[in-house]
Chain A
Amino acid sequence: MSVPTAFRTCPTTGLKVHLPAENLIKANAVVAVVFFLIGVAMALLVAMTRWPAVHLLGDEFFYRALTAHGINMLIFWIIFFEIAVLYFASAILLNSRLAAPKLGWLAFALMLAGSGLVDVMIALGKADVMMTSYVPLKAHPLFYLGMILFAVGALVGTSLFFATLVIARRDRTYEGSLPLVVFGAATAAIIAVVTIAHGAIIYIPTMLWSMGIIEHIDASTYRILWWGLGHPSQQINVAAMIAIWYLLGALTVGAKPINEKLCRTAFVLYILFINLASAHHLLVDPGVSSTWKIWNTSYAMYLAVLASMIHGMTVPASIEVAQRRKGYTKGLFEWLKKAPWGNPSFAALTLSIVIFGFIGGITGVTFGTEQINIISHNTLRIPGHFHATVVGGTTLAFMGVTYYVLPLIFRRQVVAQALAKIQPYLFGVGIVMVSLGMTFAGSYGISRRHWDITFAGATLQPAVDPTVYLLLGIMGIGAILAVLGALLYILITVGTVLAGKKTG
């Protein structure tokens, strides 16, 4: 079946690149960046409304923009990019052909149709329901249909990844165990299957309910099942991000995993235990007992947290070992001082590890305990947490890997190198300010998803602590910096794809 002309050899890495796989990677990555742009535009509108000094949008458009921001960022941008990562990790890294590229295009078409439908419904004002679309809040049936089409497409893409692993094994395109990055991508793909199954179980009946075919969807049941989709989809991001950490460690400083056993065991712990995070969303809910809450938010031992703690050690350790091997052995920190800080991919990798671990991870784990959850549930502390994980962590790692995807897959030299050097720092600093501003404002009880914290127009007027205005100002200024960093990323990416000097 494999036609010799379907491959080229990469002059930089020596890898055999399957051209149909390469085209699919390009298509998914480009569309991901388009959705990222929509998400960034919405981010600016949302942040400029929540900064009380600006308070830009009216209530209706604020909630609409917030719905669009969540869905475009958390689902469309990230999953399109992840599908590209899955094709890269299977076909390219294993020197294999991609199984059934035609199905890959089908997956792409389904995801594009689904995401387009969802965005049109939101824009028309038929789905002002937030990303969570908690019943009995009702959207137009086509909104749910769009979500289902997108999920089916993502499932087809994920299946192609598994099929490609099988083909590569059978065709002996590699000998022995999978490379660690592919192993990590496989972890993400396994979690994706579980996640998408939950999505199907909850979105299909909800669509039928919004069409009037099913009479009632129970609010508590919806929350349990929806969070089986909602949080694990972020765990796909965690696993994919960590696979990319290892990839970037290898590409930027030539890092080798210090102990494959430890790294791989940690990925397996994710598969077994990471689903526990979905129960964190139900810690102050009626309908589930304290025993249920305690068991399901820890599975008795927080072993998914252990996995993250392990990666948090092994990734930096592998970088240190690689740097020391290069002769940077003076004192404790010469290896760090002489690291390639001017390489945007290395900067993005380091910032991603630090922001994800120290801000995102710590806030997430503490909010997952019942006692801290009761004071943080649905306050701004929650978006403060996930802007550190999914934006400062995952998105920044994806940005970092883009600076390698451009020359290796698109075969174009990155334009505006000087700007690319500062881009991760600008974005990173901005997102840290956003995250901390939100987290601390949330500790004053400020709600997430709230148009007006001054309660102007309400019959009763709660007093707001003046410190909150300072904190939301920090969030607002951080958001402007992060949006500038994001726009710079988009400009560099698009500029490179359209006008970068061709390589190889």
Chain B
Amino acid sequence: MSITVPERVWWKPLDKGEKLWVAIALTWCLVMFIMMPLWHLQGKQNAPSETYRVSADQFEKAAAAFITQYRVGEEQGVPVVAPPSGSDIYLVARMWSWEPVLKLEKGKTYRLHLSSVDLQHGMTIYPMNINFQVLPGYDYVLTITPTEKGEYHLICNEFCGIGHHLMVGKILVV
């Protein structure tokens, strides 16, 4: 029994059923492993990313300059920004807002700079359900190409204090 000492020699060959099961399980493990890098290349699902160190001050300055340059309006007190395709675009996460509202063009590629100026946040593109972790001190640069027109909300998925559930932003794809 498993609560008593096993017989003196317990290193015994596996029987046929056991071997078969281990082989099936091992094959499954290999499929899982191969699929992850393969889908990375084939699936176009994981945005190519780079990371740079950045201070909250630096990031806020860069974002403010970006907002002033491409500002086209305002929604609920949040600036709406329409940057040219191929440009570096900024999204600031803070307690408890996403700034600015980004107006992007379908099929155009942008370099999205993502960082937090206070706590850790999480960006969910909703209801598409794509998630990225947003950390203070890190400039997370994602190369993105919107593929469908529409209005997408950004919600925060990492607990960031009492107003966490109020942290909603927006991306417009036109």
Residues of A within 8 A of B (CB): 59-60, 63, 93, 128, 130, 134-137, 174-181, 218-220, 223, 246-247, 249-251, 254-264, 282, 284-287, 290, 294, 297-298, 300-303, 305-306, 309-310, 313, 318, 365, 369-371, 374-379, 443-445, 447-453, 455, 457-463, 465
Q: How many Å from the CB of B77 to the closest CB on chain A?
A: 7
* Residues of chain B within 8 A of A259, CB atoms compared: 12, 14-15, 18
Given A371-B43, A378-B157, A455-B166, verify A286-B135 contact (CB < 8 Å). yes
* Contact present for A310 and B166 (CB under 8 Å): no
Docked Cα-Cα span, A301 to B36, in Å, equals 11
Rounded to whole Å, the gap between the CB of A303 and the closest CB of chain B is 7
Q: By the criterion CB–CB under 8 Å, are B29 and A459 in contact?
A: no
User: In the complex the two chains form, is B165's CB within 8 Å of A452's CB?
Assistant: yes
Q: A445-B126, A455-B165 are in contact. List 10 more A-B contacts (CB 8 A).
A: A134-B158, A181-B2, A257-B2, A286-B135, A290-B40, A302-B29, A375-B131, A377-B122, A459-B77, A462-B127
Pick the contact of B12: A137, A223, A261 (CB < 8 A): A261
A460 CB contact (under 8 Å) in B4, B10, B76: B76
Q: How far is the CB of A243 from chain B (nearest CB, A)?
A: 8
How many Å lie between the Cα of A134 and that of B162 in the bound state?
A: 15
Complex Cα spacing A463 to B162, Å: 22
Complex Cα spacing A352 to B138, Å: 41
| Beta-carbon contact of A261 and B10 below 8 Å | yes
Which of B18, B33, B129, B134 is the one whose CB lies under 8 Å from A375? B129
Most buried by A among B51, B155, B159: B159
Would you call A444 and B2 a contact (CB within 8 A)?
Answer: no
- How many pairs of residues, A versus B, come closer than 8 Å at their CB atoms? 238
A249 with B35: CB separation less than 8 A: no
Interface pairs (15), CB distance under 8 Å: A136-B119, A179-B1, A223-B135, A282-B133, A305-B32, A370-B40, A379-B129, A444-B127, A445-B127, A445-B155, A447-B155, A449-B157, A449-B158, A458-B167, A459-B76
Inter-chain contact B153/A448, CB cutoff 8 Å: no
Contact status A254-B32, CB under 8 Å: no
In the complex, are the beta carbons of B127 and A463 less than 8 A apart? yes
| Option from A251, A260, A378 in Cβ contact (under 8 Å) with B131 | A378
Q: Which residues of B contact A448 (CB under 8 A)?
A: 157
Chain B residue nearest to A13 (CB atoms) is B3
Assembly CA distance A306 to B127 (angstroms): 35
Across the two chains, which residue of chain A brings its CB closest to B29? Answer: A302
A137 & B160 in contact (Cβ 8 Å cutoff): yes
In Å, the complex CA distance between A261 and B1 comes to 14
Q: Which of B120, B122, B136, B138 has most A Cβ within 10 Å?
A: B120
Q: Evaluate contact between B5 and A174: CB separation under 8 angstroms.
A: yes
Q: How far, in whole Å, are A189 and B127 apart by their CA atoms in the complex?
A: 43
**Are the CB atoms of A459 and B78 closer together than 8 Å?**
yes
Q: Nearest chain B CB to A260's CB is how many angstroms away? A: 4
Residues on B with C-beta less than 8 A from A223 are 133, 135
